[in-house]
Structure 1
Amino acid sequence: MEPKTKYTMELEDDDLYDLSDVDDQFKVKQIAGWYNKDRHGNYCKDEQYAKYLYLPRNMKEVSFDLNQKHEEDVYKPQNEMKESIDSILKWVVENSTDSEGMPKSPDADFVCYRGILYQLMCVPYENKDSLRVCAIKAKGTTYLCQFFTEQNRKDRQAQAENPDMAKFTKWGHKFEHYMVSDEPGKPPDATQPMSEYEELNIVYQSMLGPHTLIYGAEIDGLTKKEDLQDLYQAKLIELKTCRQNANNYSFCRYKLIKWWAQSMLAKIDSIVVGYRNDEGMVKSLEQMRVANIPKMAKGWSAPRCVVFLRDFLSFVKHVMKDATESDVFEFVWYPGESSYSARKLPPGNNCNFLPDWFQSWLVTVPEM
């Protein structure tokens, strides 16, 4: 019979955290590579899917209609909830070789998507969304994948059935269509068809305290053609929309923490914000330096976000120190709870997210 051991990680109050050494806690060591998703969401590596920021001369007065559509537009299903990390795993298989070209385990303690990391950073201040993470340890590396709680599923379904929420999502993608083009310096043509699946993903190798990480993150825009050849030096761009005249406290408390966490993990230089009205018209733009966002924070601390993620990864290592490749561990947190809980799932749990083709590749990787 499987042991029913349950582990917990307490969420401490802000004043109990030692934040003195945070500036040295997180560092992007290198950008290891990139990959794309094509118009239909298929993994590929093609420079044509890279997009370049185009800023209008007058950012204070623009007129972007986010309701504009094309009959060939491709949209993701509103209730799509993928529980996989297949794209970053494909990149790992293609790029993890030794000096003789033989397969080897990736040079990281953890492999995942950025999405898990930034959501974990926000946990100390989250009051709405639960977070469930499943983990598998193989050949010395722990792979992390988000799975959805029942509350997540109910919330996503409610959003899909709410016309306003569906509209806001589409507006965000349409804004990108107005802001980036296929060539540097070329004005975007927002009348052309768009696909919500197309994306450029950059793969990062980072250090967080004692932990090494490899993760993929979608990037909205580059600034010049040479950026793909030297992504570490590139000024990467994130694009966001926001309701104009939004409540300042709410904006600084709830939006900025997520914008900052997403962006700092991906070495984003600046966020271009499109301020829209309730009819979906963007009237003005602002370019916001990511490094300045923590100074605008209300009700949250950037250092604590970083320290919490570091401590969570230490918790995962502790819980899984004796894990085998057949073990799947679950880490769950719900708003209002004072601790993160973890347990090893029983066999037949339907949460083994490593696909057969990746497990076949793992067989060829020497033991650590």
Structure 2
Amino acid sequence: MEGIGKRPFQEEETNVAKSPRFEEHKFDLHPLGKYSGDCAVYKQPVELQSFSIDHERTVHFDDRQLKYYYPADLSNADLSVGYEDFIQRDENLKEHIDTLLDALTHYRSKEIDPLSSQADIVTWRGIITKILCTPYARDPFELGVTRYKDTIYIEEHETEFKRAQNQNQDARGRLMGFWGYRFESLSTVSSFPSKTDPVDKEELESRKSSVVNTNEQYCTVVRTRLGNTSIVMGAEVDCTSAPKNPSTNPLPNYIELKTSKLIHSDRDKYTFERHKLMKFWAQSFLIGTPSVICGFRDNDGFVQKIQKLKTMEMPRMVRGQKGMWDARVCLNFADQFLSWLQSIVTVNDPEHTYTVTFAHPFQEIKVVSSGKKHVFLTKRYLEGSTSEKIGGPRVGE
């Protein structure tokens, strides 16, 4: 990926005529045994940039939204408190990968080595998580893909299944969705707690009933490599265990916060390890987060136990168990799929997109060229500028 503005994309238009349009390509999942064996090498991620999004969805290239971990008080850990005041981000406003693109532009504006932000793939961590888990998942997804200056950019589309699921969610489901956000607020503070500067008692008390606003986010942008594929991805960060130091990589201090139902039976244990633990591992492993703090709650939404799960130990927790997932299969599958995707997405034109789908009966991933449908790179990204507001015209508008 070359520096912005160094080469006009019009020079690449000759590639368009050479590439077959609307031809469907398929990547088979099975047999999964072909993805076992020696594991593809995954390079330790390094943070390139971080940014904050405030309650008005305004972007700031600073750490104002970074939270610090401080354990929840189990004597009064009611996850339903404040639900009636819950402020949720408007999911109908499509934000694409706008903030990630702006973060990359901001990073490059600091005259840092341009090679440090080059990558074969640019996307959100959630999308790479889906790809990692695909060999064992039955969740449909649809992705939008475009190639610009030999870098492939990937965004997620809302599927009909997901849209119907959201529309048909009952009151209980919406409340349970809130529980995860409340656990985050119960487990974090705004300043680093230390012996010389302890946490303000008023903040510890107020966080029990503070308004949860999902417009607010803190995000990191990391660079890594899976096999021969270099990846730049953005990811939301729940909190950190230490103040950031410009001279060190902050990723090992980041912490994922999760909730899950208390485990009472072998069936509960299997469900947790087969599904949730795999996603916990994938999310944390991808950006080098060493641990997940999980609040195990009862059916009424009260946290009864808090457990620290180490990311690198999660694959060993399920190794050898029947019907479980294998981290090697996940990584090898993602490695081979991303290499294959680069051979299929050949049109070097930000106004040309491809659609990637994984759907029932979940035997293959399909890729089809979509022409100028669902163009998602921003015009300002190609121009090398940023905006504190998410949105704006796309390429070609």
| TM-score range normalised by the length of the shorter chain | 0.7 to 0.9
2:381 equivalent among 358, 362, 368? 358
Which digits, 9 at most, give the CA deviation of each residue in 1:212-236, with x for residues without a partner?
A: 1111111111112235763346421
Which digits, 9 at most, give the CA deviation of each residue in 1:300-336, with x for residues without a partner?
A: 1111111111112112110023443332011111142
Matched, 1:290 2:311: yes
- Give SS of 2:94's match: coil
- 8 Å Cα contact 2:55-2:213 kept in structure 1: yes
Within 5 Å, give how 1:61-72 maps onto structure 2: 62-69=75-82
C-alpha separation in 1, matches of 2:384 and 2:49? 20
Which 10-residue stretch deviates more, 288-297 or 206-215? 288-297
How has the CA–CA distance of structure 1 residues 329 and 233 changed in structure 2, closer, same or farther, with 3 Å as cutoff? closer
2:127 equivalent among 95, 102, 116? 116
C-alpha separation in 2, matches of 1:138 and 1:105? 17
- Give SS of 1:294's match: helix
- Give SS of 1:27's match: coil
- 8 Å Cα contact 2:37-2:328 kept in structure 1: yes
2:184 alignment partner in structure 1: 176
Q: How far apart are 1:36 and its partner, in Å?
A: 1.0
Q: How far apart are 1:98 and its partner, in Å?
A: 8.3
1:248 equivalent among 269, 276, 284? 269
Matched, 1:19 2:37: yes
Q: How far apart are 1:21 and its partner, in Å?
A: 3.4
1:157 equivalent among 160, 164, 167? 167
C-alpha separation in 2, matches of 1:122 and 1:233? 22
Q: How far apart are 1:268 and its partner, in Å?
A: 1.0
Which runs of 5 or more structure 2 residues have no equivalent in the other structure?
Answer: 1-16, 194-198, 386-397
Aligned residue identity for 1:51: K
C-alpha separation in 1, matches of 2:301 and 2:246? 33
Which digits, 9 at most, give the CA deviation of each residue in 1:33-78, with x for residues without a partner?
A: 211111222211233311000126xx8x54301111188652234x
1:75 alignment partner in structure 2: 88
C-alpha separation in 2, matches of 1:131 and 1:71? 31
C-alpha separation in 2, matches of 1:38 and 1:154? 29
- Give SS of 1:325's match: coil
C-alpha separation in 1, matches of 2:110 and 2:224? 20
Q: How far apart are 1:103 and its partner, in Å?
A: 8.5
1:257 equivalent among 250, 267, 278? 278
- Give SS of 1:171's match: helix
Aligned residue identity for 1:144: I
2:67 equivalent among 33, 51, 60? 51
Aligned residue identity for 1:358: Y
C-alpha separation in 1, matches of 2:192 and 2:345? 46
C-alpha separation in 1, matches of 2:276 and 2:45? 27
Across the aligned residues of Structure 1 and Structure 2, the Cα RMSD in angstroms comes to 2.5
- Give SS of 1:193's match: coil
- 8 Å Cα contact 1:83-1:146 kept in structure 2: no
Within 5 Å, give how 1:152-231 maps onto structure 2: 152-159=162-169, 162-185=170-193, 186=199, 188=204, 189-190=206-207, 191-226=209-244, 230-231=248-249
Aligned residue identity for 1:344: S
- 8 Å Cα contact 2:67-2:238 kept in structure 1: yes
C-alpha separation in 1, matches of 2:186 and 2:358? 38
- 8 Å Cα contact 2:39-2:332 kept in structure 1: no
- Give SS of 1:197's match: coil
Q: How far apart are 1:104 and its partner, in Å?
A: 8.8
- 8 Å Cα contact 2:50-2:62 kept in structure 1: no
Which digits, 9 at most, give the CA deviation of each residue in 1:168-207, with x for residues without a partner?
A: 1111101111100011222633133332221211111000
2:292 alignment partner in structure 1: 271
Kindly, what percent of the aligned residue pairs are identical?
Answer: 23
Which 10-residue stretch deviates more, 111-120 or 233-242? 233-242
How has the CA–CA distance of structure 1 residues 164 and 74 changed in structure 2, closer, same or farther, with 3 Å as cutoff? same
Which digits, 9 at most, give the CA deviation of each residue in 1:113-153, with x for residues without a partner?
A: 101000111111112x2111111111221111011222222
Which digits, 9 at most, give the CA deviation of each residue in 1:72-109, with x for residues without a partner?
A: 652234x647360011011111112585x898994111
Which 10-residue stretch deviates more, 223-232 or 299-308? 223-232
